[in-house]
């Protein structure tokens, strides 16, 4: 895979609650330098990131219901509208994990649709975080099925703030459920090119990582015949 193709598969991510304005600016500058798909930031930083990235091909991704998903569909819908109004072009929303584990699939689908409907209306991409580390395999399958039925563009493994991050097994399971129709974003603990390749090999089409610069540098060295 060319280095540019690696970069285009990465959401360059900074979701720490203590991130500063300077760190957000650096994140955006790195994204423009390397050609990442997006920067993924908390809602408070969307407008700043959009201004910093003006004129570039890098998008802004914002998170909704983050990191626990334990809020109501109308609140998630408002967050989505606000993020898009501030300049986001992609939304990563967290499902109501507790509702899923309680067996309330109707609420989970309503929760997801509150976000995906707004994204479709405003031609933004929607990604549904299932927080796989908190789910049994049958619950992961159910979450992916509900996300697909709600019109999501992607399903995503993890927030990076839960009990665990992305695993190859989870990505493969998710791909088996959703088929080829929608994307899969692997996120959480992807810190090098080897992990990137493992996730994309299992079916991931987007990678969320704070180590994006390291990953593309390793890909570049590998193409030059040097050790990554």
Please report, for the chain, the start and end positions of each structural domain, with discontinuous segments joined by +: 3-222
Task: Look up 101 and say whether it is catalytic.
Answer: no
Has residue 142 got a pLDDT over 90?
yes
User: How far is it, in rounded angstroms, from Cα 88 to Cα 110?
Assistant: 22
Task: Look up 185 and say whether it is catalytic.
Answer: yes
Q: What is the pLDDT of residue 228?
A: 67
Active-site hit among 76, 153, 156, 170: 156
Q: What is the pLDDT of residue 76?
A: 98
Task: Look up 192 and say whether it is catalytic.
Answer: no
Could you confirm whether domain 3-222 is CATH 3.40.50.620? no
Span 37-95, pLDDT tens digits: 999 999 999 999 999 999 999 999 999 999 999 999 999 999 999 999 999 999 999 99
In the chain, % of residues over pLDDT 70: 99
- Spatial CB neighbours of 82, under 8 Å, sequence gap ≥ 6: 43
Span 171-208, pLDDT tens digits: 999 999 999 999 999 999 999 999 999 999 999 999 99
Has residue 227 got a pLDDT over 70?
no
Q: What is the pTM of this model?
A: 0.96
Active-site hit among 92, 111, 153, 170: 92
Has residue 111 got a pLDDT over 80?
yes
Q: What is the DSSP string of the chain?
A: --HHHHHHTEEEEE--TT--HHHHHHHHHHHHHHT-SEEEE-GGGHHHHHHHTTTSS-EEEEEESTTT--S-HHHHHHHHHHHHHTT-SEEEEE--HHHHHTT-HHHHHHHHHHHHHHHHHTT-EEEEE--GGGS-HHHHHHHHHHHHHTT-SEEE---SSSS----HHHHHHHHHHHTTSSEEEEESS--SHHHHHHHHHHT-SEEEES-HHHHHHHHHHHHTTS--
């Amino acid at each position: 895979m060319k280095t540019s193709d690696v970069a285009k598969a990465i959401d360059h991510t900074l979701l720490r609650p203590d991130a500063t304005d300077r760190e957000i600016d650096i994140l955006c500058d790195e994204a423009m330098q390397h050609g990442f798909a997006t920067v993924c930031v908390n809602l408070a930083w969307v407008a700043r990131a959009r201004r910093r990235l003006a004129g570039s091909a890098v998008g802004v991704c914002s998170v909704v219901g983050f990191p626990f998903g334990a809020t109501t569909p109308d609140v998630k819908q408002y967050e989505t509208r606000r993020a898009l109004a501030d300049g986001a072009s992609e939304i990563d929303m967290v499902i109501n994990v507790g509702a899923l584990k309680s067996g309330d699939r109707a609420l989970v689908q309503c929760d997801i649709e509150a976000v995906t409907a707004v994204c479709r209306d405003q031609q933004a991409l929607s990604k549904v975080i299932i927080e796989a580390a908190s789910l049994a395999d049958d619950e992961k399958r159910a979450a992916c099925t509900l996300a697909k039925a709600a019109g999501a563009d992607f399903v995503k493994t993890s927030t990076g703030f839960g009990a665990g991050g992305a695993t190859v097994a989870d990505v493969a399971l998710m791909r088996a459920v959703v088929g080829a129709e929608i994307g899969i974003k692997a996120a959480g603990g992807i810190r090098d090119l080897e992990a990137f390749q493992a996730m994309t090999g299992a079916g991931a089409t987007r990678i969320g990582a704070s180590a994006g610069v390291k990953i593309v540098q390793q890909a570049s060295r590998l193409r030059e015949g040097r050790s990554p």
